[in-house]
Amino acid sequence: MRVAAVIVGLVSAFFVFYTARLLVVTQGLQHTRVGGQGAYIGAVVFPILALGAGLLAIRLWRRGAS
């Protein structure tokens, strides 16, 4: 279980990084390309995925201890 927790934790870290990268590249979503509505979707979905994966990682880590 702990190996799975580490893998899921890395997935969470990836989405945290990608959210930060998205905000830096688009300068806080102020400069998006024409037709770049995917940036807005990513700004909502990536943090949700990061939070969900992080919570799952914590749950798996605790489950591995018992």
Rounding to the nearest 10 degrees, give the CA dihedral for residues 19, 22, 27, 32. Answer: -140
Helix, strand, coil distribution of the chain in percent, nearest 5: 80, 0, 20
Give tens-digit pLDDT for 22-32: 999 999 989 88
Give tens-digit pLDDT for 16-61: 999 999 999 999 989 888 888 889 999 999 999 999 999 999 999 9
Query: Given this model, what pLDDT does residue 34 score?
Result: 85
> pTM, whole model, 2 decimals?
0.87
Segments making up each domain of the chain, as ranges: 2-65
